[in-house]
């Protein structure tokens, strides 16, 4: 483990009242507050002054350099809370960036103060807390040691590919004061909001804390973290171990009822096929969520008549591949320690994919209720989930009635640390049982082993069973096997070599798989280096990606990707990449494309050039640009896009995306042009009241989607949402009868509030 109370080895002795050395050379004792404090952001009480500031080191743009602004960060605690204070002096107070007001609506163009807590000290998962000069609250969870999964053709950016789960929320307070000297803040986090293990009142956690100065793209951190990892200032395995004494488990109880009222309108073609009938469906509902801390590290969530009306719409995409698209989970109920349910079976493949519950290709499916138990029992991380959905009926565009039966979904996940502090092994069992008699079961085993240095091996095995699966030709037919060896670093030589086998009968009923019946070998090798300090470039990275996928039935090559890329990061915060790729596809059947186009079965080799540039996120007006062009099966294509964003003020932000795709197949006289346009408007009156509007146009679907949410959040746990959604048809006159302009419309008012009985939580 990288230690930066290793500053002791440099002869730096922390004063009494600051972090002092514990008995273990890898631990530091956190100081207790010796008096009262007022949460006003100033941290000027005697109790704070008795706490020594942490020794900080510049992380970027020049590691180990001198901080350009005076910074004092202090961490302390009492019986009920963990506290953090930041005194962020600034020689140019007018240059302080603070524009985010909305809860979880942070922007990388803002100055920020970040606290990372590996509360279980497992070197794999952590909680993140961030505030800005406006007093905004941003929280998230981290998993897989904050490792980003880079994929060929995807351009990483410092914000767009955040390694955390940003949908997670918990209870905590922050206060901020800004004046001519700089900005000053205090964070107060109840121990009841943190999951941890105490051993007779002794708690060991991992700690990373940092200040970010946006206009300078400068980060200072404790501990000192070398710039050899992506998101190194969030990486649990290199956090400083801290000891808290006299801290005991809490058993908080949160009771959150909700009430919802509104109306859904849709249009359905009548039985004669001559016109569309308006269908009004009033929505009046109530439900209940309950969260109970059984122990300090084990949380039970119960839900009855679950509703997710306030969840934002998914981004529109054009799919030019023969694989299913993956969309992230945004629903709050599934967020608590969601990383426990990750099984290491390869990127974009999941044995448990929570969007299988309550969502279908035809629309949302009502959820009667369920239970979710997550946390730690002894040395084992545990996740247990059981959900029951209702029967649902949908009418398709072809006027066909589709019935989805009531189903029960079950998941059990166990994992524990083995061999060393960076190695884990575990297993998972899933079930999906329908009222119509359908059944699907699966079990999986996985492990991630740190061999030495930055060398890791990942292993995963899954097997499925069910009455709807194909006949098994051999024991491996319903299995998936995944080994991988990687060197995790962004300094010098790095590599990852992976293999996957997946049988024809493999069918994870509660999981996600993009394709079937294959074996694959691939990933990448790269070399990164940092130029001299005088260079405006922060890092170069040369990389070669390879991917070879074979059919199981005849071992024929079905898909391949090979190509080099060059990735550059500037000290100003900008990033760019250029890549050349060769692709090979053996299509066993017709590939359908937008606007009635298709690619016939056959073997195709083609080449493409890909470029990406992202302006520094520290700029108030910024954009990313992407361009890809080359041959495409038996034709050619061009894809270009932009994703501009403009932080106008702390009250208003705009962002958008535009993606244009043109494909032509001259020999077959086919071709298409598609456009995806998205516009987000974020309006904030203060940290409690916000309006988000998300408008999308997809030319391939001839549709416009409008998703608008007004949120009033006076305190954590209490929310009032006014939600308006509408779908519009943009190619109405190509059909007979002519469909209405509006395909569907929903307006809902939802109110929820959280009660915290003092019997369960006396600290709040």
Predicted confidence at residue 277, as pLDDT, reads: 80
Residue 362 lies in a domain: no
Strand pairing report for 557-570 and 537-551: antiparallel
pLDDT confidence band for 187 (50 / 70 / 90): very high
Please check the confidence at residue 368 and state whether its pLDDT lies above 60.
yes
Please check the confidence at residue 102 and state whether its pLDDT lies above 90.
no
SS3 letters across 497-544: EEEEEECCCCCCCCCECCCCCEEEEEEEEEEEECCCCCCCEEEEEEEE
Cα–Cα dist 690/130, whole Å = 19
SS3 letters across 8-33: HHHCCCCCCCCCEECCCCCEEECCEC
Which range, of 73-77, 370-374, 734-738, averages the lowest pLDDT? 734-738
Predicted confidence at residue 361, as pLDDT, reads: 77
Please answer whether residues 753 and 718 qualify as being in contact, where contact means their C-beta atoms are separated by less than 8 angstroms: yes
Tens-place pLDDT, residues 256-294: 898 989 888 877 777 777 778 888 888 888 888 888 888
Cα–Cα dist 466/272, whole Å = 40
Sequence-ordered list of residues with C-beta below 8 angstroms from that of 405, at least 6 positions apart, any chain? 391, 434, 435, 436, 438
Average pLDDT over residues 113-128: 91
Residue 748 lies in a domain: no
Please answer whether residues 715 and 735 qualify as being in contact, where contact means their C-beta atoms are separated by less than 8 angstroms: no
Among residues 68, 48, 66, the alpha carbon closest in space to that of 57 is found at 66
Predicted confidence at residue 11, as pLDDT, reads: 27
Rg, the chain, Cα only: 27
Tens-place pLDDT, residues 613-637: 999 887 889 999 999 999 999 999 9
Residue 681: Cβ within 10 Å count: 15
Buried b (16+ CB within 10 A) or exposed e, 639-653: bebebebebeebeeb
pLDDT confidence band for 222 (50 / 70 / 90): very high
Among residues 373, 410, 190, the alpha carbon closest in space to that of 291 is found at 373
Residue 571: Cβ within 10 Å count: 19
Range with the largest mean pLDDT of 48-57, 365-374, 461-470:
48-57
Cα–Cα dist 37/166, whole Å = 30
Residue 406 lies in a domain: no
- DSSP character string of 399-465: S-EEEEPPEEEEEEEEEEE-SSTT-EEEEEEEEEEETTS-EEEEEEEEEEEEEETTEEEEEEEEEEE
Residue 361 lies in a domain: no
Mean pLDDT of the chain: 84
Predicted confidence at residue 281, as pLDDT, reads: 82
Predicted confidence at residue 464, as pLDDT, reads: 93
Predicted confidence at residue 8, as pLDDT, reads: 30
Residue 569 lies in a domain: no
Please answer whether residues 757 and 764 qualify as being in contact, where contact means their C-beta atoms are separated by less than 8 angstroms: no
Please answer whether residues 364 and 354 qualify as being in contact, where contact means their C-beta atoms are separated by less than 8 angstroms: no
Among residues 432, 415, 427, 486, the alpha carbon closest in space to that of 456 is found at 486
Q: Is 163 helix (H, G, I), strand (E, B) or coil?
A: coil
User: Quick one: tokens of 316?
Assistant: 């529109």
Residue 205 lies in a domain: yes
Residue 67 lies in a domain: yes
Residue 293 lies in a domain: no
Percent of the chain whose predicted confidence (pLDDT) is above 70: 88
More confident residue, 33 or 143: 33
Please check the confidence at residue 409 and state whether its pLDDT lies above 80.
yes
- Count Cα atoms within 13 angstroms, Cβ side, for 268: 13
Among residues 319, 350, 76, the alpha carbon closest in space to that of 187 is found at 76
Please check the confidence at residue 23 and state whether its pLDDT lies above 60.
no
Tens-place pLDDT, residues 681-731: 989 888 888 898 999 999 888 889 898 989 998 887 888 989 898 888 888
Please check the confidence at residue 564 and state whether its pLDDT lies above 90.
yes
Q: Which long-range contacts (CB under 8 A, 24 or more apart) does 595-603 make?
A: 595/672, 595/674, 595/700, 597/663, 597/665, 597/670, 597/671, 597/672, 598/670, 599/633, 599/634, 599/665, 600/668, 602/634
Sequence-ordered list of residues with C-beta below 8 angstroms from that of 682, at least 6 positions apart, any chain? 102, 105, 652, 653, 654, 655, 690, 691, 692
User: Quick one: tokens of 187?
Assistant: 């964070």
pLDDT confidence band for 468 (50 / 70 / 90): low
Which range, of 103-112, 178-187, 351-360, 537-546, averages the lowest pLDDT? 103-112
Predicted confidence at residue 6, as pLDDT, reads: 30
CA trace torsion 135, 170, 350, 205 (10° rounding):
90
Q: What total number of domains does the chain contain?
A: 1
Tens-place pLDDT, residues 138-166: 998 888 788 765 443 344 433 345 677 77
Any idea which residue has 């987000």 for tokens? 680
State which residues form the domain around 232: 5-245
The rounded Cα 78 to chain-centroid distance in angstroms is 32
Cα–Cα dist 229/499, whole Å = 24
The CATH code of the domain that includes 138 is 2.60.40.1190
Average pLDDT over residues 197-214: 90
Peptide bond into 48 cis (omega under 30): no
Please answer whether residues 229 and 235 qualify as being in contact, where contact means their C-beta atoms are separated by less than 8 angstroms: yes
Buried b (16+ CB within 10 A) or exposed e, 322-351: beeeeeebbbbbbbbbbbbbbbbbbbebbb
Percent of the chain whose predicted confidence (pLDDT) is above 90: 45
């Amino acid at each position: 483990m990288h230690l930066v109370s290793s500053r002791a080895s440099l002869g730096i002795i922390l004063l009494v009242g600051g972090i002092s050395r514990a008995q273990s050379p890898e631990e530091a004792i956190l100081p207790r507050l010796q008096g009262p404090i007022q949460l006003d952001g100033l941290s000027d009480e005697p109790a704070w002054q008795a706490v020594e500031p942490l020794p900080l080191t510049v992380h970027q743009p020049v590691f180990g350099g001198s901080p350009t602004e005076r910074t004092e960060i202090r961490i302390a605690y009492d019986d009920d809370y963990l506290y953090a204070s930041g005194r962020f002096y600034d020689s140019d107070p007018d240059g302080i960036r603070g524009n985010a007001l909305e809860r979880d609506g942070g922007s990388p163009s803002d100055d920020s103060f970040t606290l990372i807590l590996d509360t279980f000290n497992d070197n794999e998962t952590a909680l993140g807390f961030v505030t800005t000069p406006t007093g905004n609250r941003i929280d998230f969870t981290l998993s897989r040691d904050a490792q980003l999964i880079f994929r060929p053709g995807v351009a990483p950016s410092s914000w767009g590919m955040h390694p955390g789960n940003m949908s997670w929320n918990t209870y905590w307070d922050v206060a901020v004061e800004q004046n001519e000297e700089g900005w000053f803040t205090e964070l107060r986090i109840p121990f009841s909001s943190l999951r941890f293990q105490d051993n007779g009142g002794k708690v060991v956690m991992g700690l990373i804390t940092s200040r970010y100065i946006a206009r300078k793209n400068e980060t200072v951190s404790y501990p000192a973290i070398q710039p050899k990892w992506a998101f190194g200032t969030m990486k649990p395995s290199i956090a400083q171990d801290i000891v808290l004494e006299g801290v005991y488990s809490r058993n908080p109880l949160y009771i959150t009822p909700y009430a919802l009222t509104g109306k859904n309108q849709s249009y359905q073609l009548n039985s004669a096929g001559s016109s569309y009938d308006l269908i009004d469906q009033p929505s009046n509902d109530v439900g209940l969520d309950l969260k109970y801390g059984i122990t300090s590290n084990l949380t039970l969530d119960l839900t009855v008549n679950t509703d997710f009306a306030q969840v934002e719409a998914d981004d529109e995409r054009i799919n030019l591949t023969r694989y299913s698209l993956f969309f992230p989970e945004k629903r709050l109920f599934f967020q608590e320690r969601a990383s426990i349910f990750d099984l290491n079976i390869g990127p974009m493949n999941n044995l448990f994919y929570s969007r299988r519950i309550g969502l279908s290709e035809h629309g949302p499916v009502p959820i009667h209720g369920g239970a979710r138990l997550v946390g730690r029992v002894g040395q084992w991380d545990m996740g247990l989930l059981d959900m029951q959905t209702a029967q649902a009926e949908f009418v398709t565009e072809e006027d066909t009635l589709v019935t989805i039966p009531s189903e029960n979904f079950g998941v059990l996940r166990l994992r524990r640390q083995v061999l060393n502090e960076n190695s884990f092994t575990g297993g998972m069992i899933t079930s999906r049982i329908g009222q119509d008699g359908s059944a699907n079961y699966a079990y999986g085993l996985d492990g991630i082993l740190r061999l030495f240095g930055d060398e890791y091996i990942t292993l995963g095995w899954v097997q499925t069973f069910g009455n709807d699966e194909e006949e098994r030709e051999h024991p491996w037919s319903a299995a998936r096997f995944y080994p991988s060896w990687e060197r995790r670093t962004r300094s010098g030589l790095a590599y990852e070599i992976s293999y996957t086998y997946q049988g024809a009968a493999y069918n994870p009923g509660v999981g996600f798989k993009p394709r079937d019946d294959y074996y694959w070998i691939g990933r990448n090798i790269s070399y990164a280096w940092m130029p001299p300090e005088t260079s405006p470039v922060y890092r170069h990275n040369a990389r070669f990606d390879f991917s070879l996928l074979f059919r199981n039935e005849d071992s024929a090559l079905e898909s391949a990707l090979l190509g080099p890329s060059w990735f550059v990061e500037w000290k100003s915060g900008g990033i760019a990449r250029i890549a050349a790729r060769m692709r090979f596809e053996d299509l066993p059947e017709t590939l359908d494309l937008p606007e009635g186009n298709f690619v016939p079965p056959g073997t195709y080799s083609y080449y493409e050039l890909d470029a990406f540039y992202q302006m520094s996120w520290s700029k108030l007006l910024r954009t990313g640009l992407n361009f890809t062009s080359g041959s495409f099966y038996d034709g050619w294509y061009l894809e270009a896009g932009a994703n501009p964003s403009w932080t106008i003020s702390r009250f208003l932000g705009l962002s958008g995306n535009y993606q244009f795709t043109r494909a032509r197949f001259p020999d077959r006289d086919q071709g298409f042009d598609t456009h995806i346009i998205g516009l987000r408007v974020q309006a904030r009156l203060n940290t409690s009241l916000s309006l988000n509007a998300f408008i999308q146009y997809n030319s391939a679907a001839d549709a416009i989607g409008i998703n608008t949410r007004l949120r009033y959040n006076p305190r954590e746990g209490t929310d009032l949402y006014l939600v308006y959604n509408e779908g519009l048809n943009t190619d109405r006159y190509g059909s007979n009868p002519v469909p209405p302009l509006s395909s569907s419309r929903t307006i809902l008012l939802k109110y929820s509030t959280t009660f915290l009985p003092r019997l369960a939580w006396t600290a709040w």
